[in-house]
Structure 1
Amino acid sequence: MEASDFSQAQLAAAISSAATPSKLYDTLSPYEEEAYLLSFQEDRPVELLSHFYAAYFFSHLLTDQIYEARFLTKRMPQDLLHTDNSLQNCVTLLRAIWQHKHESVYKILRESPWPDLLKPIVQSYDTYFQDKTLREVSRVYEAIRPAAAASYLGLDPESTARGDTAAIEKLIALGWTRDEQSGLLYPKPIADDSQKDARSYTDLSQIMALIGSHRG
């Protein structure tokens, strides 16, 4: 995208054509300076700036640049940051990620009113965050209660605690095991995927295919 083509249409094309999170980040990164300069114009394109900064923010999250995403929020035009709903959602999401509030992360991703242009990226990060959390749970826990597992993975902990087996069955389908006597779940160890960034950020992973349909 040429500098002169920095427009809503070109931003949409850049988002839809990026095959990986890294490519999305690399495509958007050079335009931060131009976006910043545009923010000082009297007739600044507010919608374009909002969409750009939000998309650029998610490209940071999708490439595991959490600290850099935080710094990006400091570089955004602060008057826009404090008045724009999408950017406010980004800040709230970042705080939830930073504080390891998994249920809040899923709630913000799934229930906040994201613009249509951003929805594919938001959904992709939902998948990515769920996949990443599954790996973390599998590494950290030898055993875990079903309701806790459901909470970590964006499922419904209350219905799981009441005996709803849907979430449990989906986890077992992923290779987890359950002790019928104690009711505990035993995660299946999952090796790190060194090629994680090679997948398309618009593709649904196996995790979403198996457990993403059960929304809390």
Structure 2
Amino acid sequence: MDFSQLQSLLSSNSFEKIADLCDESMLQAKTLIPKTLFFFFGGVASKGVSFQENWPYAVHLVGHIYVDDLNSARFLWKSIPAGIKEARPEISAVWKIGQCLWNRDHTGVYAAVRGFDWSPEVAPVVTAFAESYRKRMFQLLLSAYSTISVADTVHFMGMSEDDATNYALQHGWTLDPSSKMLTVKKPKIVTEQKLDSSKLQRLTEYVFHLEH
């Protein structure tokens, strides 16, 4: 695998491309006899080592999670040798996020994101995923609720009560302090108005007179 390409994607925050690059590179690696491999983000050659021992599984796995491809993430997780999972706990920590997504455990997703000291390679992808996930949850609330309790908002948004309330208020929602219920501000739906033929004709004549 050309790890310089992976490093470039991480450096440019092109996280949506990580999974595809890793998938293609893994397929190529499996078809070759791994006589010489390179350590992840290193320049030190390692002879006679299986590609699995140095594969960036945590980045690969979080790449699938970032684009919400849980089926591929699950398949990848199952294919990782048990010994590698035990030796590299970050891989299991990434999959914990995937498990919570699979089970629609919204609170668990945020807890899993906060529950590990991520490596420099994985941290920015996890952070970007968490931000994207929170925005998706907020859009879900917009479409599914007209009113919602602060407690339920906290559950979906993974924030403290104050932060979740302030986030909602900043988006135009209103709060009833006595009941701690939020009223959702629905986005305006712009409908396209069609002109009938007579109006279109009058408009054409009006523009003609303006131009002459």
Same fold (TM over 0.5): yes
Larger Rg: 2
SS at match of 2:185: coil
Which among 133, 136, 142 is matched to residue 132 of structure 1? 136
Q: Give the whole-Å Cα distance in 2 for the aligned partners of 1:76 and 1:137.
A: 36
Q: Give the whole-Å Cα distance in 1 for the aligned partners of 2:53 and 2:13.
A: 21
Which among 183, 187, 196 is matched to residue 186 of structure 1? 183
Q: Give the whole-Å Cα distance in 2 for the aligned partners of 1:174 and 1:168.
A: 10
Q: Give the whole-Å Cα distance in 2 for the aligned partners of 1:11 and 1:47.
A: 17
Q: Give the whole-Å Cα distance in 2 for the aligned partners of 1:121 and 1:178.
A: 34
Aligned length: 175
User: Is 1:105 aligned to 2:126, yes or no?
Assistant: no
Alignment of 1:103-182 (within 5 A): 103-156=107-160, 160=161, 165-182=162-179
CA RMSD of aligned residues (A): 2.8
- Residues 17 and 166 (structure 1 numbering): CA distance in 2 closer, same or farther, change over 3 Å? closer
TM-score (norm 1): 0.68
SS at match of 2:87: coil
Counterpart in 1 of 2:200? none
Alignment of 1:63-102 (within 5 A): 63-102=67-106
Whether the 8 Å CA contact 2:147–2:181 is kept in 1: the answer is: yes
Q: Deviations over 1:9-28 (max 9, x none)?
A: 5532332235351x333322
Alignment of 1:6-17 (within 5 A): 6-7=2-3, 10-17=5-12
Ranges in structure 1 where 5+ consecutive residues have no aligned partner: 192-216
Q: Per-residue deviation at 1:124?
A: 0.5
Q: Percent identity?
A: 22
For 2:49, give the aligned amino acid: D
Q: Per-residue deviation at 1:42?
A: 5.5
* Greater share of strand: 2
Counterpart in 2 of 1:19? 14
- Residues 47 and 120 (structure 1 numbering): CA distance in 2 closer, same or farther, change over 3 Å? farther
Ranges in structure 2 where 5+ consecutive residues have no aligned partner: 38-46, 189-212
Whether the 8 Å CA contact 1:81–1:88 is kept in 2: the answer is: yes
Whether the 8 Å CA contact 2:53–2:84 is kept in 1: the answer is: no
Whether the 8 Å CA contact 2:29–2:51 is kept in 1: the answer is: no
Q: Give the whole-Å Cα distance in 1 for the aligned partners of 2:139 and 2:181.
A: 18
TM-score (norm 2): 0.69
Relative CO higher for 1 or 2, CA cutoff 8 Å, sep ≥ 6?
1
Counterpart in 1 of 2:208? none
Q: Give the whole-Å Cα distance in 2 for the aligned partners of 1:109 and 1:68.
A: 20
Q: Give the whole-Å Cα distance in 1 for the aligned partners of 2:149 and 2:108.
A: 19
Q: Per-residue deviation at 1:140?
A: 2.1
User: Is 1:33 aligned to 2:39, yes or no?
Assistant: no
SS at match of 1:155: coil
Which among 43, 46, 50 is matched to residue 49 of structure 2? 43
SS at match of 1:116: coil
Q: Per-residue deviation at 1:125?
A: 0.6
Whether the 8 Å CA contact 2:61–2:95 is kept in 1: the answer is: no
